[in-house]
Structure 1
Amino acid sequence: MTNKLIARQLRTAGELLELTGGNAFRARAFASASRTVDRMDEPAAQYDVQELTTVRGIGKGIAADIREIVETGTLSLNESLLQSLPPGLPEVLRVKGLGPKKVRAMWQELDVASLEDLEQAAASGALASLPGFGAKTVQNVLASIEQLKVYRGKSHYAKALPEAEAARDALRAAGHRAEITGAIRRQCIIIDRAEIVTDASPEAAAAALSAYRVTDGMGTLPNGQPLHLHTASPEAFGTVLWRTTGSEAHLGLWREAFGEPDDVAEESEIFEAAGVGFIPPPIREGTWEVQAARGGTLPTLVTLEDLRGTLHNHSTWSDGADTLHEMAEAARARGLTYYGIGDHSRSLHIAHGLSLEELAAQQKEAAELNEAYAARGEDFRILTGSECDILQDGTMDFPDSALAELDVVVASVHINLSMTEAEATERILRAVANPHVDILGHATGRLLLRREGYPINVDAVLDACAEHHTAIELNANPWRLDLDWQHLRAARERGIPVSINPDAHVTDGLDDTRWGVAAAQKAGLEAADVLNARSREALLEWTGATVS
């Protein structure tokens, strides 16, 4: 449990207390404790209640709350406060620019209890009657509402997949054949439903999935998303699986090339009958894959096992929850041969960015740990590095002399995100041109289902990466998956290596790499296209660092 996650729960408690009209002093105490935990150098999770009370700004009550968050992953106070509110009101808190004080005023004075209520109040002019709501604010509220409505009912692939797997496994446990299909099988990054093909009758499926309230082939997942069941006879199971997997565009291209397939028990028979190789489900989007199948040039998709190391990771040196040694050992335990440091640079104060002195001290620690690995004969090394901020003018947060000492430099934008396309593109182009930058990190800065990225000219950025020998990151955090898979084929065509980086802040965060691999597969990438599928020696030769 990271300090950031603990701080988020504490901040939510303060917001909900203020929203419900609770004790104002207590609400401020939660808000203050949230800031305190977020700024702590050591993981708050490692302290007991007594130790937490020695931290300025954390009393005994909140210390107990922190332990509850660490041990259960949630805070019961938040759950009880949520129960006391209209169901749609917490969603109003997500509107950009609205804090709990303003939301409470709208609730109490205008009966705003949902996004729809807020939209109506804004459109009617009632919202503008409240203090602090000028024309520009109302306009921004309406724009934010539209974006939130787009996000409704959707979830990340990383969240939807386990729930779909649980439903599939319940059908299998009841003795039925069942396979996940649709957007989840295609590994789409955003999911609005789960789909399963099964040979169970509607009645048998409803019995096996009683917890999902299935009626007439429709149910509901625990996350609230719809579950759609496609019933197939054993003789036609493969055809139904094929038909429900591919996008409409893919199915159209296939039918143009090969016609409608016959009913078959196994999906592979469809491809055999057409005389082409099996098209992997992730790439069945109706772009290049059918032509590649006809030409015999289907890719061998990269796998998690192809990766030799992990790059762009954080530790307690900046805003991570685990030490450098703990993070490196977690990478080694996963069979990797190198761990790339990616702690934040000095200007990102909110994430405890490293000063130049701290960067040097971190390099010293890495060297000492590497000496120990070498002495034990371990085929594993820590690669020095930084996730160095791209400043507003496109220059790097650390001087070139410091960057030149590092093995791998990831350049990323974190602050001043409100930019035009021209401004954002120029900022990134200047950073990519820096000879010490090895990887462009999360190129658009998006947070899926939370924040749109800043606009960039992707072609111009990729052209610059190709020109300046800079890799592009596929940030594997399921909230990012940035750069988007739809642009990664263009990177591949330009010969730009793609680095699948977990952006891990805890040891378990290293496992987010799987979601990046899923997106890379969707882009049709092979192991040869991926920077960290290279050996340590080949990687360092590419970055120009000294091999040790």
Structure 2
Amino acid sequence: MENRDVARLLRETARLLELRGENPFRVRAYEQAAEAIEQLDEPVAERVRQGTLTEVPGIGRGLAAQIQELVERGTSEMLERLRQELPPGLPELLTLKGLGPQRVRQLWQTLGIASLDDLEDALRDGRLNQLKGFGPRLHEQLLHALSLRRRYRALRLLAQVLPEAEALRERLRQQPGVIRVELAGAVRRLMEVVDRVELVVAGSAEAVQQVLPQLRQQSGLHGGMLLEGALPDGFPVRVALTTPDAFGTVLWWHTGSEAHCRTFVRTYGAPEPCPEEATIYEQAGLPFIPAELREDRGELEAAAHHALPALIELEDLRGVLHNHSTYSDGRNSLREMAEAACNRGFRYFGTGDHSQSLTIARGLSIAEVRRQQEEIQTLNEQFAARGFRILSGTECDILPDGSLDYPDDVLASFDYVVASVHTRLNMDEKTATERILRALRNPHVTILGHPTGRLLLRREGYPLDWPRIIDACATYRVALELNANPYRLDIDWRRVRDATAAGVPIVINPDAHAIDELDHVRWGVAAARKGWLTPEACLNARDLDELLAWLHQRRQSVQP
């Protein structure tokens, strides 16, 4: 079990203890133990093997025994007991904005509310009016959160579904009786969230059901039969069956958005059965339209004028910016992160540890900034022979009034500054827009990080006046981040074209907090392709010399 998994289970234990009304100091001990485990430089399992867990500050013998149990069993006796003692739906209430452990315990003990459904019933019939502190504003907030949660329940992140869908495709390809199989639907279009796995198969229903016995036959459209059901974990799956000579057409129908297919048919007529998708576009006099563009957002018109973009590829990225290390809340050291980036073929790696006010993420004091910059200089001397460079950056908090979290002389010491909002996210559009506009006017800001603060399927982003934000980025020569963390993918791909049309560069940042998260760029590139991004419009698709020249020219152009 990895350190992050142990820390997650320790935090779950802390939440359940708090829900049960345990001593706050005991709850905090579990939270501190989780933080300590995350900060370890070595696997916690190695500490268990050596018997040195009690040498970690904040971990005594009792906690060490529970951590050992978590490492060896994947759970602990205490955690299992807490899960059994408390209603299973209670922890999910904690995920709603506006409900902390004390309020959830109040709901449970006073009104017997122990699930999201219970809460919705109580909101609808007015029982929450009996409780102090649950006024009209919180009522409205909770109803909105429950509405979002119902919608979220039917969806999953692309990053969660695509690897499983690809594995399923490979299993079907190896099955006798299956001639051809491809992914389709929203998964193939690389939508950030999806509601099912879809595949098109040339082969027999019996062959497919050897791999997916739970699927049942349904009436099909567009020349194919449908098999529908769910994967073992309950996520919907649909397989469209067809013949090899109609495979391309059925794949086309089941890939494009409904709007794309409808517009195509209205303009060019319904496609005839054919084995390859490309033939459909060729017969209409169009170049092939990549699956991720088939959203009816002008792609057919662009194709008709031979103006489709040459979309960015993962291999176009030359480096990664906005990454975290153990200087703040990362799980690997600066050297380890840089070495991993170099081994992946990147030519540069940019730091982006948090700034001083974000204490929850161990933001860097000014003294720690200087120490990190000295280490970067030392490491760069060692990496020089490999043609690799570490750039000194920061993820600097945009404070509630729009000012930045470091003074100008500190900001000037970085190669670049990613300015991001992490606090007071419940802003209306005017407040959020003015806050960010003030930050963009600071000449040291290079990149606007995860601009809306959204977390997919968990938290809606704050609203922004996008024309004003994009115009300000263009005016002050600030790049927009497409944060590649699969829970963020922020900015939304639908904004990318607006930004690049205004001359604002996009930077695809992994926001990596550990070595493996450097690979988040895969999801950022997927979203960027949906936004019609080209390598020329992507800041970190530039070679190191080009990037440094851009940073230098930008700095010169915005000096007061």
Asked if TM exceeds 0.5, the reply is yes
Task: Tell me the residue number matched to 2:448.
Answer: 440
Q: 1:42 aligns with which of 23, 39, 44?
A: 39
Question: Quick check: 1:33 aligned with 2:33?
Answer: no
Aligned residue type for 1:32? A
Partner residue of 1:225 out of 227, 235, 240: 235
1:359 corresponds to which letter in structure 2? V
Distance in 1 of aligned mates of 2:498 and 2:148: 28
- Cα 1:319/1:463, change in 2 over 3 Å: same
Is residue 22 of structure 2 the alignment partner of residue 24 of structure 1? yes
Which shows bigger deviation, 266-275 or 216-225? 216-225
The structural deviation recorded for 1:139 is 3.5
User: Where does residue 224 of structure 2 map in the other structure?
Assistant: none
Within the alignment, does 1:390 sit opposite 2:398 as a pair?
A: yes
> 1:56 Cα deviation (Å)?
4.2
Residue of structure 2 in register with 1:354 after alignment: 364
Using the TM superposition, give the Cα deviation of residue 80 of structure 1 relative to its aligned residue in structure 2, in angstroms.
Answer: 6.8
Corresponding letter in the other structure for 2:171: A
Counterpart of 2:509 in structure 1 is 501
SS of alignment partner, residue 275 of structure 2: coil
Shift of 1:90: 3.8
Distance in 1 separating the partners of 2:448 and 2:424: 17
Query: What per-residue deviation string (whole Å, max 9, x for no partner) do you get for residues 236-292 of structure 1?
Result: 111010011111111122113221111011112112222221100001000111011
2:196 pairs with 1:193:
yes
Secondary structure of 1:264 counterpart: coil
Give the Cα separation in 2 of the matches to 1:159 and 1:242: 24
List per-residue Cα deviations over 1:385-405 (Å, max 9, x = no partner). Answer: 111111122121112212222
* Matching of residue 459 in structure 1 with residue 467 in structure 2: yes
Q: 1:365-397 CA deviation, whole Å, 9 max, x = no partner?
A: 0000111122xx211000111111111221211
Q: 1:183 to 1:121 in 2, by over 3 A?
A: same
**What's 1:205 paired with?**
208
Show the counterpart of 1:322: 332
SS at match of 2:481: strand
Match in the other structure for 1:15: 15
> 2:349 corresponds to which residue?
339
Q: Is the 8 A contact 2:18 2:27 kept in 1?
A: no
Query: Deviation of residue 363 (structure 1)?
Result: 0.6
> How many angstroms apart in 1 are the aligned matches of 2:133 and 2:414?
49
Q: Sort the Cα spacing of 1:501 and 1:65 in 2 relative to 1 into closer, same or farther, 3 A.
A: farther
2:187 equivalent to 1:184: yes
* 1:158 corresponding residue in structure 2: 159
TM-superposed deviation, 1:9 = 2.5
Check whether the contact 1:438–1:471 (CA below 8 A) recurs between aligned residues: yes
Taking the TM superposition and a 5 Å limit, the aligned residue runs for 1:69-468 are 78=79, 82=83, 88-107=89-108, 109-130=110-131, 132-175=133-176, 176=178, 177-210=180-213, 213-216=214-217, 217-374=227-384, 377-468=385-476
Question: Distance in 2 between the 1:339 and 1:73 partners?
Answer: 35
Report whether the alignment pairs 1:517 with 2:525. Answer: yes
CA contact (8 A) 1:2 1:506 kept: no
Aligned residues: 540
State the distance in 1 between where 2:83 and 2:268 align: 54
Q: Deviation at 1:62?
A: 2.8
**Distance in 2 of aligned mates of 1:73 and 1:288:** 50
Amino acid at match of 2:40: P
Are residue 490 (structure 1) and residue 490 (structure 2) matched? no
Q: Distance in 1 between matches of 2:258 and 2:352?
A: 41
Shift of 1:530: 0.6
How far the C-alpha of 1:58 sits from its partner, in A, is 2.2
Q: Secondary structure at the match of 1:53?
A: helix
Q: Give the Cα–Cα distance (whole angstroms) in 1 for the partners of residues 126 and 433 of structure 2.
A: 38
**Aligned-partner Cα distance in 1 for 2:364–2:65:** 31
User: Once the 2 structures are TM-superposed, how far is the Cα of residue 112 of structure 1 from its aligned partner?
Assistant: 3.1
Whether the 8 Å CA contact 2:36–2:56 is kept in 1: the answer is no
Q: Contact 1:4–1:38 (CA<8 Å) still a contact in 2?
A: no
**Distance in 1 separating the partners of 2:62 and 2:429:** 48
Per-residue deviation, 1:455: 1.2
Q: Percent identity?
A: 50
> In structure 2, how many angstroms separate the alpha carbons of the residues matched to 1:545 and 1:296?
34
Q: How big is the shift at 1:65? A: 4.0
* Contact kept in structure 2, 1:392 and 1:416, CA below 8 Å: yes
- Aligned pairs for 1:526-537 within 5 A: 526-537=534-545
Separation in 2 of the partners of 1:218 and 1:451?
Answer: 31
The answer to whether 1:470 aligns with 2:467 is: no
Q: Give the alignment of 1:50-65 within 5 angstroms.
A: 50-65=51-66
Deviation, 1:73, is 7.2
Cα RMSD, aligned residues only: 2.6
Normalised to the residue count of structure 1, the TM-score between the two structures is 0.92
